[in-house]
Amino acid sequence: MRYRGFEAPEPPGSAELLDEVRAAEAGARAGDRAPLEPRGRSEEELLARFEEVVDADEKIEPRDWMPADYRRALVRQMSQHAHSEVVGMQPEGNWLTRAPSLARKSILLAKVQDEAGHGLYLYSAVETLGVDRESLFRALHEGRQKYLSFINYPTPTWADVGALAWLTDGAAIVNQVPLCRSSYGPYARAMVRVCKEESFHHRQGFDALWALTRGSAAQRRMAQEAVDRWWGPALAMFGPPHAQSTHSERSMRWRIKRHTNDELRQRFVDVCVPQAEALGVTLPDPALRWNAERGHHDFTPPDFEELRRVVAGDGPCNRQRVAHRRRAHEDGAWVREAAAAYAAKHREEARW
Amino acid sequence: MVSEESQERSQWPLWEVFVRAKRGLGHLHAGSLHAADARMALLHARDLYTRRGEGVSIWVVPSAAVVASSPDERDPFFDPAADKAYRHPGFFELPEGVRHL
Amino acid sequence: MNADARYALRLGDDALVAAQRLIQWCARAPELEEDVALANIAADLLGQARALLALAGEEEGAGRDEDDLAYLREESEFGNALLVELDNGDFAVSTAKALFFSVYQNLLYRALSAVAHPVLAGIAAKAAKETAYHVEHAALWAVRLGDGTDESHRRMQAAVDEVWPYTHELFAPDEVTRAAAFAVDPAGLRPDWARRVEAVLVEATLRRPEDGWAPSGGRAGAHTEAFGYLVGEMQVLHRAHPGVRW
């Protein structure tokens, strides 16, 4: 894999996030405590021990006893994450054939390939809970399971690919780094792998925009207009405010989620401001300013009404994205069948 | 629309992937993937879990072939922090019509 | 352009156009694992293209780099074989193209890795390893599609029949292969190519097509109608902003 190397400096704030990932990996405690075997135990005993393990920041593993709601919440959250990686290949894949230099084409190809891989790591983690991947695809195709809202927006220009990567991968990192300390073992481990690769993606977006903001007037305009389009969807990506978020409370209790939506969104804004300055783009929020008292930036919240509509299926690209996935899956059925048929025919000959 | 029958016919089984990244270390569980047969599983494991690094050893094992011990066992050689891919017996379907699951 | 530059260029064009077609499978592959595999192969081909185009630019000595060559030449200046520019079709057609092309590339690069041109030999040595994997991937799929279901067998046979005529061009020598100092004679690759490909077809329970119609012209810049769309799409953004950096 050859690229000319990033010209832009490392985006401010990324090193700290990566340090957290490494710390999470190193700190994954080899614990002595484990949930109890269910035989002969009451629901209360099992739950009490389960919560002890979680509170001690130790891991729950696939065959452990776990509350049904914990398992349900994990399936939902990990599936949504996996679907997001896979469907997220579309807005970026949109510019693969037209990338304006071979270096950019290579980098973008690597990123899109990584996303497929991340989807696979995450589906793999969901499957440890006994849910078949095929059924997850069905849930996605039928709209019963969701993916991150920003993916339902179009990438009309090359600059959108850079802005999307800079902002949403940046948001994803802020969201995902804490998940490296998720209570569920396979999820935490998948997230460590994902986060390490994700920092490259984020950097790629920053670098692509950097080239534009230091380019021609047309390129600078392209970059600014893309940032104007993507700021809102990126902010909205963290979900509704904590008070309105149906799943948050319990997810946090059980360390499936480590921070509230609002905390994550604030962190994201604080990280983005110096990066936007370095890039030379203006974030489209007149109320954005440093608040010395709070020690954070004040900002205008995203349009939650729009988020609600997009999540409900009425964003600009929802139907297109899901239809694309469904079609790819349906078109591939004869191929998958062929491989399965071949395997069945030759099973006696092979060792497996 | 893919028919139920066709979906069953086209399902690829799940495989667990173990990778030894360097000589001298043991094989570590890296994750899982779907493949129709062992050769395809190896090919895909190379792409997905090693990014085709050279000199790497890969084992693929059908998940159904993995025999798991109970997590409650106390065994001095049993490292509880090691990734265990052991499945819940029997897959179940994501319930239809349940929203936000 | 001198023969050495033109030779490197056509090798690079083969890889570039093949990569561009493969990229079109992104987010459309029959299974996610295949999306990763195909993207990996496309990335290899793109890497080969970049190295070879850069080499061609140096051999030419007129200051053109990989992007000048990829984005600012007209269709008639591309020297790729017609095989790689064919539409992807279904997964069977793409597999047939991949099988025939990757076996050819693997043989070619193995021969080229022994030439007395360190840069070219170096590119070829790396590409020989990569294409060995591409061959394995394509062969595994050709066999599974050929010897899978009735439908996959029908589609794969149709694909092989459709793509076969375009393979002859790969082995046709011309004034470039004769004049370039480090060229490998393509005709010499055909017997090994045929042996390897036929072995796969037999295992796949597929019929080897008769040799007959042998379309060509790609090497001389006479391309298919589909090629116009491929090049147009690839170049449009770059051409819209002359002289800038990305």
Of C17, C47, C41, residue with least CA distance to C29: C41
The answer to whether C36 contacts chain B (CB < 8 Å) is yes
pLDDT above 50 for B73? no
Of C33, C133, C140, the CB nearest to B52: C133
Q: How confident is the model at residue B94 (pLDDT cuts 50, 70, 90)?
A: very low
Contact C39 A116 (CB under 8 A): yes
pLDDT above 70 for B81? no
Only one residue has tokens 């893919």, namely: B2
The answer to whether B44 contacts chain C (CB < 8 Å) is yes
Only one residue has tokens 């119609």, namely: C213
Query: Rg of chain C's alpha carbons, rounded to an integer?
Result: 17
- C-alpha torsion sign, points C197, C203, C204, C210: positive
In which element (H, E) is residue B38 found?
A: helix B38-49
Q: Which residues are CB-contacts of A290 (< 8 A; sequence separation ≥ 6)?
A: A273, A296, A297, A298
In which element (H, E) is residue B14 found?
A: strand B14-20
Torsion angles phi and psi, residue C222, rounded to 5: -100, 100
Specify the 3-state DSSP secondary structure of C70. Answer: helix
Contact C33 B44 (CB under 8 A): yes
pLDDT above 80 for B5? no
The answer to whether A86 contacts chain C (CB < 8 Å) is yes
In which element (H, E) is residue B17 found?
A: strand B14-20
Residue A282's Cβ-side half-sphere holds a number of Cα atoms within 13 Å equal to 6
Specify the 3-state DSSP secondary structure of C126. Answer: helix
Q: Which residues are CB-contacts of B49 (< 8 A; sequence separation ≥ 6)?
A: B17, B19, B30, B31, B58
Torsion angles phi and psi, residue A281, rounded to 5: -110, 155
Of A110, A215, A334, the CB nearest to C151: A334
Interface of A with B in 259-318 (CB under 8 A): none
The answer to whether A60 contacts chain B (CB < 8 Å) is no
pLDDT tens over chain C, length 246 residues: 899 999 999 999 999 999 999 999 999 999 999 999 999 999 999 999 999 999 999 999 999 999 999 999 999 999 999 999 999 999 999 999 999 999 999 999 999 999 999 999 999 999 999 999 999 999 999 999 999 999 999 999 999 999 999 999 999 999 999 999 999 999 999 999 999 999 999 999 999 999 999 999 999 999 999 999 999 999 999 999 999 999
What are C7-26's pLDDT values in tens digits? 999 999 999 999 999 999 99
Residues A84 and C232: their CA atoms lie apart, in Å, by: 31
Contacts of B9 in chain A (CB under 8 A): 337, 340-341
Give the domain extent around C185: 3-240
- Give first-to-last CA distance, chain A, whole Å: 34
C202 with C64: CB under 8 angstroms? Answer: no
Q: What is the pLDDT of residue B99?
A: 36
Burial of residue A351, with CB atoms counted within 10 A of its CB: 0-12 exposed, 13-18 middle, 19 or more buried:
exposed
Structure tokens at A46: 């099992």
- Number of independent structural domains in chain C: 1
Q: What is the pLDDT of residue B92?
A: 37
Q: Which residues are CB-contacts of B38 (< 8 A; sequence separation ≥ 6)?
A: A350, A351, A352, B60
HEC states along chain A?
CCCCCCCCCCCCCHHHHHHHHHHHHHHCCCCCCCCCCCCCCCHHHHHHHHHHHHHCCCCECCCCCCCHHHHHHHHHHHHHHHHHHHHCHHHHHCCCCCCCCHHHHHHHHHHHHHHHHHHHHHHHHHHCCCECHHHHHHHHHCCCCCCCHHHHCCCCCHHHHHHHHHHHHHHHHHHHHHHHHCCEHHHHHHHHHHHHHHHHHHHHHHHHHHHHHCCCHHHHHHHHHHHHHHHHHHHHCCCCCHHHCCCHHHHHHCCCCCCCHHHHHHHHHHHHHHHHHHHCCCCCCCCCEEECCCCEEECCCCCHHHHHHHHHHHCCCHHHHHHHHHHHHHHCHHHHHHHHHHHHHCCCCCCC
Tell whether C9 is covered by a domain. Answer: yes
Tell whether C246 is covered by a domain. Answer: no
User: Among all residues of chain A, which has the CA nearest to that of C205?
Assistant: A342
Tell whether C177 is covered by a domain. Answer: yes
User: Among all residues of chain C, which has the CA nearest to that of B36?
Assistant: C144
Of A112, A216, A335, the CB nearest to C244: A216
Q: Quote the ipTM score.
A: 0.97
pLDDT above 80 for B10? no
Residues C157 and C205: their CA atoms lie apart, in Å, by: 9
- Residue C181: which CATH number? 1.20.1260.10
Contact B33 A124 (CB under 8 A): yes
Torsion angles phi and psi, residue B31, rounded to 5: 150, -155
Q: What is the pLDDT of residue A248?
A: 72
State CA C101 to chain mean position distance: 5
Contacts of A341 in chain B (CB under 8 A): 9
Tell whether C141 is covered by a domain. Answer: yes
Of B33, B90, B94, the CB nearest to A139: B94
Of C36, C40, C140, the CB nearest to B39: C140
Of B39, B40, B47, the CB nearest to C36: B47
Of B16, B53, B67, B56, residue with least CA distance to B38: B16
CB atoms within 10 A of CB A214: 16
**Minimum distance, in Å, between the CA of residue B46 and any CA atom of chain C:** 9
What are A124-158's pLDDT values in tens digits? 999 999 999 999 999 999 999 999 999 999 999 99
Q: Which residues of A331-346 are buried (b: 16+ CB within 10 A; e: fewer)?
A: ebbbbbbbbbbbbeee
Mutation target vs A (from B43, B47, B94; most A CBs, 10 A cutoff): B94
HEC states along A149-185?
HHHHCCCCCHHHHHHHHHHHHHHHHHHHHHHHHCCEH
Mutation target vs A (from C149, C233, C236; most A CBs, 10 A cutoff): C149
pLDDT tens over chain A, length 352 residues: 333 456 677 777 777 777 777 777 777 656 667 777 777 788 898 899 899 999 988 899 888 889 999 999 999 999 999 999 999 999 999 999 999 999 999 999 999 999 999 999 999 999 999 999 999 999 999 999 999 999 999 999 999 999 999 999 888 888 888 889 899 999 999 998 888 777 777 788 999 999 999 999 999 999 999 999 999 999 998 988 877 776 677 788 888 777 889 999 999 999 999 999 999 999 999 999 999 999 999 999 999 999 999 999 999 999 999 999 999 999 999 999 999 999 999 986 655 5
Contacts of B34 in chain C (CB under 8 A): 31, 33
Residue C125, phi-psi category: left (phi > 0), alpha (psi -120 to 50), beta (remainder): alpha
Tell whether C124 is covered by a domain. Answer: yes
Cα–Cα distances (Å) from A66 to A32, A69, A129, A313, in that order, read 17, 8, 10, 32
Contacts of C245 in chain A (CB under 8 A): 211, 214-215
The answer to whether B61 contacts chain C (CB < 8 Å) is no
Contact A352 B9 (CB under 8 A): no
Contact A128 B98 (CB under 8 A): no
In which element (H, E) is residue C55 found?
A: helix C32-60
Contacts of C17 in chain A (CB under 8 A): none
Specify the 3-state DSSP secondary structure of C53. Answer: helix
Residues A319 and A322: their CA atoms lie apart, in Å, by: 5
Contacts of A120 in chain B (CB under 8 A): 31, 33, 48
C29 with A324: CB under 8 angstroms? Answer: no
With contact defined as 3+ CB pairs under 8 Å, the chains touching B are: A, C
Residues C224 and C86: their CA atoms lie apart, in Å, by: 8
What are A222-270's pLDDT values in tens digits? 999 999 999 999 999 898 887 777 667 778 888 877 788 999 999 999 9
